[in-house]
Amino acid sequence: MTTAGTTNSNMEARAVEFVRVAVVDEVPPGTGKAILLDGRRIALFNVNGTFHAIDDTCTHEEASLAAGAVYGEIVACPKHGSRFHLPTGRVLSLPAVIPVNTYQVKVEDGQVLVLPVPQKGRGMPHKA
C-alpha cells in the first residue's frame, strides 16, 4: 500500500490540495492499487486511462476493494462479490447496501493526484 499526504492536524491548518499518490504507469488499465492518504484507505483504479478513487474498504465487510476484479467502471469485492460503480460509489449488488465514498482524481504530467476529501457515494443502493 502506498502512503501519501499529511497528518490530519496538518490538513486542518491548510487548504485542502490534491496530493500525488502514484505515477500513471504504476496502475495499469483494468487494475486497482491501495493507497493510504491522510489516514484514509483509498482504492485507486485505472479504467482505460481514466482514474477513479473510492474508499478501499467494502461497506459490507472489511475487504480491500483495490484487490477486487475490475469490469469496466465496476469493481467486485473479493470477499463476497458486492459490486460498486467506480465513478459514483453506488452499490450495484448485494450483500453490500451502502455506497462507498468517492474522491476527485486528476492526472498531471504523468502523475496521479487525489483530493483527500471524501464525496458521499451517489445513487440508490441495490434493491433485492
Rounded to 5°, the CA angle 49-67-72 comes to 35
Fold annotation for 2-114: Rieske Iron-sulfur Protein (2.102.10)
Grid coordinates standing for 76? Answer: 467486485
* Residue 84 · residue 38 · CB < 8 Å: no
Cβ count near 127 (within 10 Å) = 7
C-alpha to C-alpha distance for 92 and 96, rounded to whole angstroms: 8
**9 pLDDT above the threshold of 50:** no
pLDDT tens for each residue of 59-110: 998 899 999 999 999 999 999 999 999 999 999 999 999 999 999 999 999 9
Amino acid 66: pLDDT:
98
Instruction: Give CA separation, 56 vs 60, 66, 84, in Å.
Output: 12, 6, 11
C-alpha to C-alpha distance for 64 and 90, rounded to whole angstroms: 16
